[in-house]
Amino acid sequence: DGGITQSPKYLFRKEGQNVTLSCEQNLNHDAMYWYRQDPGQGLRLIYYSQIVNDFQKGDIAEGYSVSREKKESFPLTVTSAQKNPTAFYLCASSFRGLNTEAFFGQGTRLTVV
């Protein structure tokens, strides 16, 4: 089946450790995105990429890093510089353009203790 897969679903890390969240899609989409969601809040854009080996900062990029070495994959690293990393992280992908919907993964819930 075509889709977008995030792993793992739940992740626990100790404070001060970097952690990488996986996002893979087999929809042949050019663009991929990472969002963060806090309890009771909407989604906020962290990073996006519209083509391999290129990515741009979103609204809340500080403390995060990404790479886009393959079209299918867009991993997100939450670094120790991120002050409040505990959140629900969502990855999405789409074709480029306005008249095309984005598809979301099922999310990774990161808890830093």
Q: What does the binding site for other proteins look like in residue numbers (CB under 8 A)?
A: 6, 30-31, 33, 35, 41-45, 48-51, 56, 88, 90, 92, 94, 96-107, 109
Q: Give the shortest CB-18-to-other proteins separation in angstroms.
A: 24
Nearer to other proteins among residue 79 and residue 107 (C-beta): 107
Report CA 87 to chain centroid distance, whole Å.
12
**Toward other proteins, which CB reaches closer, 2 or 42?**
42
* Residue length of the chain: 113
Q: How far is CA 45 from CA 101, 103, 108, in A?
A: 16, 15, 15
Q: Alpha helices of the chain — where are they, by DSSP H?
A: none
Nearer to other proteins, 45 or 61 (CB): 45
